[in-house]
């Protein structure tokens, strides 16, 4: 997750179906997210599984979506379709399947010239708390025994 979060170029996740749990978190580690409208949900189901999140996963969520959205998606396990995910600012674009890859590619191509080792340093400076949390183990939260 840390490698994606601080990758030295713009990264774009093209979400073509369900993005649950770790897949949803991985999408948040990207700079931009484009989600298909006709199919799939974005969801953090850990509350329904009675499973704790790794501190780094919680930190990524809190760093990449509005605070109230982070709270809602963690404590409710809501399944968001593309339009709802866009409204909650979980994704940046919601498009038809035929436009998913072209939109993601165009977004990445438009920013490709920004690729540089300095990009990694800039991203590291934007997310120091998230990166520190990713380095922590589950024992930081008691291994789920709260």
- The mean pLDDT values, 10 residues at a time, for the chain of 146 residues are 96 97 96 97 96 94 97 97 98 98 97 96 97 81 48
Specify the pLDDT at position 141: 58
Specify the pLDDT at position 130: 96
DSSP letter (8 states) at residue 138: G
Q: Return the CATH superfamily for domain 2-97+115-144.
A: 2-enoyl-CoA Hydratase; Chain A, domain 1 (3.90.226.10)
Q: Nearest 5 degrees, angle CA 123-CA 46-CA 22?
A: 40
């Amino acid at each position: 997750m840390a490698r994606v979060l601080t990758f030295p170029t713009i990264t774009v996740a093209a979400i073509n179906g369900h993005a649950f749990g770790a897949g949803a978190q991985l999408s948040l580690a990207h700079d931009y997210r484009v989600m298909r409208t006709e199919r799939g949900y974005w969801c953090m189901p850990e509350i329904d599984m009675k499973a704790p999140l790794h501190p780094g996963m919680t930190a990524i969520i809190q760093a990449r979506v509005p605070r109230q959205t982070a709270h809602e998606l963690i404590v409710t396990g809501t399944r968001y379709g593309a339009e709802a995910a866009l409204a909650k600012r979980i994704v940046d674009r919601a498009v038809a399947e035929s436009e998913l890859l072209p939109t993601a590619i165009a977004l990445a191509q438009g920013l490709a010239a920004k690729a540089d080792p300095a990009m990694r340093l800039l991203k590291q400076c934007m997310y120091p708390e998230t990166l520190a949390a990713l380095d922590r183990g589950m024992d930081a939260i008691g291994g789920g025994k709260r």
